Amino acid sequence: MSDDDSEVLITKVRELGCGKSGRCRFRFEHKEKKAKDKKKEKKMKGKKRMAVIIRNRITLEEEKRAKQLEKQAKKQEKKEKKRLKMEAERQKQLEEEARMKAQLEAIEMEKQKEREAKEEKKRKEREKMAAIKAELDQAEKKRAAQEAEREKQRAEAWVARMNAEADAKAEEKQKKEEEEVAKKKAAEEAAAERKKLFRTKSQVMAEEEEQRRQERARRQEEEFGCAIAGGFEKGDYVIAQNNMSVQGEIIVKKGTRGVVRGPSETDPQNRVSVAFDKREKAGYAQINVVHFEIKVTDAPLQKDPNVSELIEKIMTPRDARSKQVVNELEED
């Protein structure tokens, strides 16, 4: 028991007194105090033991960590040595490669110089050969020009001779042809004169008709740009030879009179534009017909106003004024 605990115990005894009950209470408290001290001491021993265990464990861990650090340091040192060795080997290899490269470059440079020397030699030889070739080409061109000039002169002389011969032959041939043409023309004229002496009336009419046809075609060409199909003339009176229909419907009946206006604009070679007097179906009376669908007819009779008036008077029915009508007729 420590001094502090003794002092505390004496103080409590003084407070409690010296009686019997006081002694019992002191004894009980003393036992309780001893139990607490034992428990506390036991607890302290446990803590000390735990502290020792912890301290030992910490020491073991530190030793283990120290060993690991030492091992790692050795390993790192080994790696560093290996790296330095590899770097040294790499540096040595690079130096060797640089040395080899320098040697190769020196060899290549020597080869390049040799090649350049050879190229220079070849270039000089080529220049020399080119100069010789140029001289030879110049001489060859000069010789070829002289030869071409001589050949040209010979060709011109030959062409002139051939042209002269051809001109002579052409003149002779032309003279013969002219003589033949003159003889033929004279024979044709003589035959035509003989034929005219023995022409018939029908031949004369046919010739006149042919002349009229040619004149009509020329006039139509000037007016319309082409001849009217079928030999018709503008203003001819024609009649339809058959019924004319479009899509199954009759538009112009057979016998309808019409007047030729000119060639068809759509088919001038085969069709004629005709203005008929009457059309069965509504529409323009001027239509394009094939030239063989119509034929020429006589012009319609012109109305005489006197005859028309007389016919009207005759056809007037009799009435109170019939006597006056008869008198007028007698006076006429």
pLDDT one digit per residue (tens) for the chain, 332 residues: 545 555 555 555 555 544 444 455 556 666 777 777 777 777 777 667 777 777 777 777 777 787 888 888 888 888 888 888 898 898 988 999 899 988 998 999 999 999 999 999 999 999 999 999 999 989 999 998 999 999 989 989 998 888 888 888 888 988 999 999 888 888 888 887 777 666 667 777 777 777 877 887 788 777 777 878 877 888 888 988 888 888 878 888 888 888 888 888 888 888 988 888 887 776 666 788 888 888 888 877 766 666 667 666 665 555 444 444 444 444 44
Report H helices in the chain: 3-16, 20-197, 201-224, 305-314, 322-331
Q: What is the CATH number of the domain that holds 284?
A: 2.30.30.40
What pTM was computed for the model? 0.34
User: Does 142 map to a domain?
Assistant: no
Burial 151-166 (b: 16+ CB within 10 A, else e): eeeeeeeeeeeeeeee
User: Does 242 map to a domain?
Assistant: yes
| Residue of 251, 250, 254 lying closest to 242 (CA atoms) | 254
User: Does 171 map to a domain?
Assistant: no
User: Does 304 map to a domain?
Assistant: yes
**How many structural domains compose the chain?**
1
CA distance 131 to 139: 12
Host domain of residue 238: 225-312
